[in-house]
Each structure stands twice: as structure tokens, then as C-alpha cells.
Amino acid sequence: MSDESSRVPHRAVLDRAVTWVCAAHDATGQQGVSAGYDLRCGWQPPYPETSGYLIPTLLRAAEALDRPELADRAALVGDWLLGLQRADGSFPGGMGVDGSPVAFDTGQILLGLLALWHDTRRAPVLDAAVRAGAWLLAAQQPSGTWLSHFDAPNTYSSRITWALAELWRVTAEPGLLAAVGRSLDWLSSQVRPDGWIDGMAFSPGHPQWTHTIGYTLRGMLRTADLVGAELPEPAGRCADAAVRCATGLAALRTNLDPLLPGEIGPGFTPRAEYACLTGDAQLVTVWLDVARRTGDVGMRARCDSVLDRLAQLQVQQPIEPATVGAIAGSWPLTGGFEPLTFPNWAVKFLADAVLDRTTR
């Protein structure tokens, strides 16, 4: 645990983080949220996927900080996304607005649209969510997978499964629950005896960043909670697998401690000497969830240590004003995940970690 004198107040971390998100939104003329700030070339184009899953973060922060203007921002982002939706229900993938549809990106936007609908009850938002869900259903493979990003099946697409489970909770559409069940069955088949989960990378040739590992575990846990009563066996298997994998990760200790190596391989083997700060923030949320399920006080303490370190690494000094409130993709800055860049999703997951830590 970090020394109390070195701790940064959580409210200040959250306030700086969402203020930076507002700056990233303004940098595009409020046409979505900029993907991030690159020290080599400045503000990046808007990113539909991450703009989408920033919506629930902005809504939660609006309430936690008593900053209603953040909810207004969330609505503006939602309106921008509605204007990007294609006739088939999908959304552009990647940065900018001209990319081909990507299943994962559409799933993350679906999560944002559902959060916005719960907050506003606007019919066009729910209609867009339903159409996005229909496109994702059609894109699911018979195996229960999605071929996202590099046309390879992957377990981090559990976040698509999560999005469909959230949509099913709203619509009670049987086809959505069936698709969730197929995905849970396939996810369960990827678990190794030691608790490692295969497929937690963009493709077999890509590193397994803690970022995509965090995606995998969070999606499995949330989906299991949403459909556990209806699909108890596959949901239970996935929740248990995610808990085992998260526990194995928490046991890792390297010279980056309390942060994790940015890349980790089968057998929970460290494969990098840099930290992927996005993944560390995501794993705080995962570990908090696991600690709630298991009563593991040591894991909760690990969360505090990681969050304290992330708070220390959040930019506070205006050496480059555009980065104040952000955190880098990697530590050190030249590491292998988004080098020399402050991605909006790193800030999103830092804010989520603070919000979860203060409510659990």
C-alpha cells in the first residue's frame, strides 16, 4: 500500500480526468472525442468506438462530481454517433468516420447508447441500439465468436457479449439471449487448466496487452452477472474463469510493481518491461469486482496500490497543457502500447477505476 502522504485524492483524479475528456471533445469541434493527444503530432481524429464507451463514464462522473455539464457532453457524443450509424445498424471502425464496420467497435458504441438511453429515455437512442444489436447478431459466427479487428476470433470480444446482454435486459429479445449463450460457451472453451484464457489479443500474432486482457475479464464478469439467472451454467463457468485469471494476474510481481508488465503470455508469463497504464486501470475495476465476489482483502489492497500509482502518473503539470489530466499509454512513455501518446481510453478507464473504488 502506498504511504498516505503520497496519495492523490480520488475526487481530484476524477475531476482532472473528465476535464481532459472535455478538452478532447472540444478539440474535434465536439464531433466525437479525439482518440488522444500524441506528443509528436497533437490531437488525433475522433474515435467513434471509444467516444461510445466514454458515455457511461461521463454520466457516472456527472453524478459523482455534481457536474451536470458532463451529462450534456454525453448527450452530444450520443447525437454525433447517431449521425454516424449506417443503414445496416453498424458504425465506422477505427479513428475517424470513414472506416469499415468493426464488430468490437459497434459493440462498445452499443454500451454507450444503452447508458444514454437509461439516462434520457430518448426513443431514437434505443432504436439505434436495437439496430446495432441486430447487426451484431448477424455478424456472430456459428461458433459464438466475432471476427473483429484482424478477422480472428478472440476472447476480448466478451465485451460485445456484454453489450448484447445489456440490450437483452432492455428488450427481452430471445435471439439476443441465445447469442449471449453461444458466446459464453465458446469463451469457456478457451480456458486453460492453470486459469489462463487464450485469445486475449487482437490476433495470434499480437501481444497480449493488459488492455485486451482487461477487456476480456470485464466482459466475462459483467455478462455472467446479467444473464446468470437464465444461463446459470455457462455464466457460472465464465465468471469462475475470469476470477481465476484475475487472481493469477494479481499474484504477479515484477520490478514494475504495483503495476503489471504491459504484455503477459500464457502461464502468466511477463513479456515486457513497460506498463500498459490503460490495462492497469482496467484491472483495478476487475480486481475490485473479484474482491467483492470473494472477500479477498489482499486483492482490494492491490487495487489501492495500483490506483495510487496511476494517480501519481496522471499529468498534473502543464509542461504540455493538452495532456493535463491524462495518463500515457505506456510507462515509460516510449513503451510498446501507444508510445508517446495519451489515449482517451486510458483516461476513461482511470476514471472508471476511481468511480468503482469509491462505490465498492
- CB 14, CB 351: distance < 8 Å: yes
**CATH number of the structural domain spanning residue 336:** 1.50.10.10
Sheet with strand 36-38: strands edge to edge: 42-43, 36-38, 341-343
Cell representation of residue 297 = 482483502
> Structure pTM?
0.96
- Give the pLDDT of the chain (360 residues) as one tens digit per residue: 444 545 668 999 999 999 999 999 999 999 999 999 999 999 999 999 999 999 999 999 999 999 999 999 999 999 999 999 999 999 999 999 999 999 999 999 999 999 999 999 999 999 999 999 999 999 999 999 999 777 889 999 999 999 999 999 999 999 999 999 999 999 999 999 999 999 999 988 888 999 999 999 999 999 999 999 999 999 999 999 999 999 999 999 999 999 999 999 999 999 999 999 999 999 999 999 999 999 999 999 999 999 999 999 999 988 899 999 999 999 999 999 999 999 999 999 999 999 999 875
> Position 23: which residue type?
A
- CB 6, CB 312: distance < 8 Å: yes
The C-alpha atoms of residue 179 and residue 355 are separated, in whole angstroms, by 30
Q: Which domain holds residue 192?
A: 4-357
Q: How many domains does the structure of the chain reveal?
A: 1
Question: Angle at the Cα of 155 (from 151 to 161), degrees rounded to 5?
Answer: 95
